[in-house]
Each structure stands twice: as C-alpha cells, then as structure tokens.
C-alpha cells in the first residue's frame, strides 16, 4: 500500500501553481505569493539623512573637542536644507532630515551646547558618524521583492517604500467542501435515530481558510450515484479543488469511486498506509483536483493537513516538494500499538527550554474531542512502540 511520502509525491506531480492576478497592496495580500519581481523606483534613503537629533557639521572642523560653530539653519524632518554648509558652520537637524550640502557628519544634541546662533561641540567627530548615505538601504532599479515571496507584514511596508500599490500574485485556489452521507444532518438540527451531525463540513472549511485558500461550502449530498454525479460535476465547474468528505471507504453504499470514473475523473490512488485516514482518494479531471476524505472527523482532519494543505500551498504559488517534518522532543513518555504508521494529534509548546511535543490521546478516528487544542501531527511507526520523554519525533506543524 502507498506510503504517506509517496502519496504526497504522486499528488505533487499533478499539481502546479494557478494563474496570476493583480491585487491591491493591502492586508488581503498576507499569505499570498508574489508572481513577479519588484524593484525600487528610488534610492532609499532618498537623500543622505541624519540618524539623530543634533547638528550637521563638517568633520574637518571638529577634530578637537569644544569647537564652536555658527548655526546657519534649522532642518526639521520633511524640509530640505536651503543653505550650503561652509567651514566653521553647523545646521540644527532632526532625526530623518536631509543633511545639508557641505556637511558630512552628525553630532547628537547630547554632545552639544546649543546657544541658538552658535553651538559648541564637546567631542571630536568621526567623518560620516550618524549619517545614513543616500541609497544605503536600497538603490533605484534594484530588485527588493522576489517572485515567490510569501507575503508577510514587512513586505507590505517594503511595497509601500517602492511606491507599489498593486502587485501581481498567484491566484488563491477556490475549494469546494462537500459533505456526503445519508446519515448527516447540519447543526443546529437535532439528529434523528441513525443520524449524526455534519462536523467535517465546518471543520474543513476552516482548514481551507487557514491554509490561505477560498472555502466554498456545499450542502450535504445524500449517498446516491445520481446525487454524487450531479453535485460533483457542478462543483468542478467553478472550483479549482473539490473536497468530498465521506463516501470513500469500501462499504456497499460508497459509490464515489465508480461515479468519479463515470464523469471522466482519473483516480490516482484510493488507499494510504497510514492511520487514521487509510481510505484517502485522490483524483483529477484536467487541472481540477478532487480529494475524497474519509468521513471520520479525525481521519478527515489529518488527511487534510497531510495532503490537501500542501496541494493548496503549491496551487497558490509556494514551493513544496515533500512533507515539512520537524523533529521535536517528547514532553512525556507514551505508548502506541498500531498496524500502520500513525499521524496523531499533538500539542507543540514553545517554552524557555525550547519546543516540546505532547501526543494527544484520541479515542478512534471519530473522536473530535481528541483533536483538542492540537497544533501539530506526530508521526509514530507501526507496531508496538514505547517512546520516552526527550526522544525526538517527527512532527508536522499545523
């Protein structure tokens, strides 16, 4: 049976970034990926500027302490000097203001005795001190934001710095979430005999949203080939990805695999060597992607994070080549005994002593409460396994 790593590898072979689009440079960009390089349209700083409140001087004038200079001008931030500094002259200057022609250094006001028309400089001056030269941070024409950058708050600052109010990004995938199963009813309905509430729909929508994609809710589909065929085809018309929840195990009433075949989808695999979530189905039709997730909530949650999230990341322009496991030491001993490699809910805590992971106990793949406050999945090999506190385990951070 297919391993978790091979399954993701097969998926990633079928997936490539969606097209690009323009977006306004605002908070909606967070988590999106730049589709172009962006270069600066100016030098930054645009002028040689002062790092301190104090006096702009010529270092040559101040090679000994207690020199007195004539103050010829005052330069607040936002104003441009009108006078050229000659020998034995100084200009009063604020942090961020342009230094006047002729000056080459700044003396912080704490080192100055300021008597309005003149100033006495207590210390000697090192040429260029407390001055940021024009273009020191970035030069006009220089690329400052690269294609492929996953956008964070500081990049919005940088886009503003280069005067860019719209940018080209990779489009975010639109993802339909379609719960299937005749036994499902939506909250707040009270389930009748034999029914259970649709928990995976709301949970998957939130997982899609957290992964940075656009989540589109669909109503519950009853388990019949006609319903499935019609529902899936319509959803594929408008979504990049369709997540079906339930209907993928091998029970008599699980029609999904056959329906997918009839409507021209190629099923790439339908089982994975893992627990929970063995009966994961992955199919494509052209560039459209279909995941059939197991109906049990824990299986559904885990399969999403292991396989759907990396898919969505690639679609929106990120580079993903394999699962990004991180080794984290166990906080407590724990034991498992499973016939397949397990990816269980876990809580990673970041402490003064470094990160630690605690496996969460869960009561089978239907146990939503077992997911608790998990923020990671922890990998444990098959068989009877006893892990000790301090041992490093592979975790996938959520």
Task: Name residues contacting a copy of itself, limited to 258-287 (CB under 8 A).
Answer: none
Asked if 195 is part of the footprint of a copy of itself (rule: CB under 8 A), the reply reads yes
Closest distance of CB 287 from a copy of itself, Å: 25
x-or-dash string of contact with a copy of itself, 117-146, rule CB under 8 A: ---------------x---xxx-----x--
Of the candidate residues 86, 87, 141, 364, the single one contacting a copy of itself (CB under 8 A): 364
Contact range with a copy of itself by CB under 8 A, out of 117-125, 185-193, 235-243, 312-320: 185-193
Of the candidate residues 161, 320, 347, 382, the single one contacting a copy of itself (CB under 8 A): 161
Tally of CA atoms within 13 A in the half-sphere of 283 that contains its CB: 25
Coil, helix or strand for 149? Answer: coil
Within 57-76, the residues that bind a copy of itself by CB under 8 A are: 76
Contact range with a copy of itself by CB under 8 A, out of 59-67, 236-244, 295-303, 380-388: 295-303
Task: Give the torsion through C-alpha atoms of 11, 13, 14, 17, to 10 deg.
Answer: 100
Distance CA 54, CA 107 (A): 6
Within 201-240, the residues that bind a copy of itself by CB under 8 A are: 201-207, 209-210, 215, 223
Asked if 157 is part of the footprint of a copy of itself (rule: CB under 8 A), the reply reads yes
Buried b (16+ CB within 10 A) or exposed e, 162-173: bebeebebbbbb
Closest distance of CB 108 from a copy of itself, Å: 11
DSSP assigned state of 368: G
Asked if 182 is part of the footprint of a copy of itself (rule: CB under 8 A), the reply reads yes
Strand 281-285 to 266-269 pairing? antiparallel
Within 34-53, the residues that bind a copy of itself by CB under 8 A are: 41-42, 44-47, 51, 53
Beta carbon nearer to a copy of itself, 61 or 304: 304
Asked if 373 is part of the footprint of a copy of itself (rule: CB under 8 A), the reply reads yes
Q: In Å, how far are 67, 158, 195, 362 from 6, measured between CA atoms?
A: 75, 39, 36, 26
Of the candidate residues 83, 126, 127, 369, the single one contacting a copy of itself (CB under 8 A): 369
Asked if 372 is part of the footprint of a copy of itself (rule: CB under 8 A), the reply reads yes
User: 115 burial class (0-12, 13-18, 19+ CB within 10 angstroms)?
Assistant: exposed
Contact range with a copy of itself by CB under 8 A, out of 91-99, 121-129, 224-232, 255-263: 91-99
Could you identify the residue written with the tokens 């009853």?
Answer: 222
Contact residues for 131 (Cβ-Cβ < 8 A; gap 6+): 48, 49, 50, 51, 99, 104, 105, 106
Q: Which residues pair with residue 292 across a beta bridge?
A: 244, 281
Asked if 353 is part of the footprint of a copy of itself (rule: CB under 8 A), the reply reads yes
Give the number of other CB atoms < 10 A from CB of residue 194: 7
Asked if 352 is part of the footprint of a copy of itself (rule: CB under 8 A), the reply reads yes
The whole-angstrom distance between residue 378's C-alpha and the CA centroid of its chain comes to 21
Of the candidate residues 116, 117, 193, 339, the single one contacting a copy of itself (CB under 8 A): 193
From the CA atom positions of the chain, what is the Rg in Å?
Answer: 31
Total site size for a copy of itself, rule CB under 8 A: 107
């Amino acid at each position: 049976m297919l391993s978790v790593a091979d399954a993701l590898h097969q998926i990633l072979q079928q997936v490539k970034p969606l097209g690009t689009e323009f977006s306004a440079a605002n908070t909606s960009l967070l988590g999106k990926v730049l589709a172009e390089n962006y270069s600066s349209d100016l030098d930054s700083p645009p002028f040689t500027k002062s790092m301190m409140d104090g006096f702009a001087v010529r270092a040559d004038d101040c090679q000994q302490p207690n020199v007195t200079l004539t103050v010829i001008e005052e330069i607040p931030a936002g104003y441009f000097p009108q006078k050229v500094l000659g020998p034995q002259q100084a200009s009063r200057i604020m942090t961020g203001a342009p230094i006047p022609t002729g000056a080459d250094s700044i003396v912080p006001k704490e080192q100055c005795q300021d008597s309005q028309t003149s100033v006495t400089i207590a210390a000697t001056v090192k040429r260029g001190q407390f001055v940021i030269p024009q273009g020191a941070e970035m030069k006009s024409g220089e690329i400052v934001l690269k294609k492929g950058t996953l956008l964070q708050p500081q990049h919005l600052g940088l886009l503003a710095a280069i005067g860019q109010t719209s940018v080209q990004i990779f489009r975010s995938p639109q993802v339909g979430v379609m719960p299937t199963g005749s036994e499902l009813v939506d909250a707040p309905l009270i389930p009748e005999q034999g029914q259970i509430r649709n928990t995976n729909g709301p949970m998957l929508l939130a997982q899609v949203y957290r992964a940075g994609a656009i989540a589109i809710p669909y109503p519950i589909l009853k388990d019949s080939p006609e319903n499935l065929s019609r529902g899936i085809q319509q959803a594929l018309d408008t979504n990049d990805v369709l997540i079906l929840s339930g209907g993928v195990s091998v029970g008599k009433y699980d029609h999904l695999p056959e329906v997918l075949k009839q409507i021209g989808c190629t099923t790439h695999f339908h089982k994975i060597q893992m627990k929970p979530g063995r009966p994961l189905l992955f199919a494509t039709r052209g560039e459209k992607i279909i995941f059939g997730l197991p109906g049990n909530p824990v299986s559904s949650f885990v399969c999403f994070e292991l396989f759907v999230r990396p898919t969505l990341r690639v679609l929106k322009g990120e580079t993903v080549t394999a699962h990004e496991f991180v080794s984290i030491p166990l906080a407590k001993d724990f034991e498992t005994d499973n016939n397949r490699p397990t990816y269980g809910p876990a809580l990673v805590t970041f402490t003064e002593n470094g990160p630690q992971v605690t496996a969460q106990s869960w009561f089978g793949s239907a146990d939503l409460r077992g997911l608790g406050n998990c923020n990671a999945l922890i990998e444990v090999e098959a068989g009877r396994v006893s892990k000790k506190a301090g041992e490093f385990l592979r975790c996938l951070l959520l």
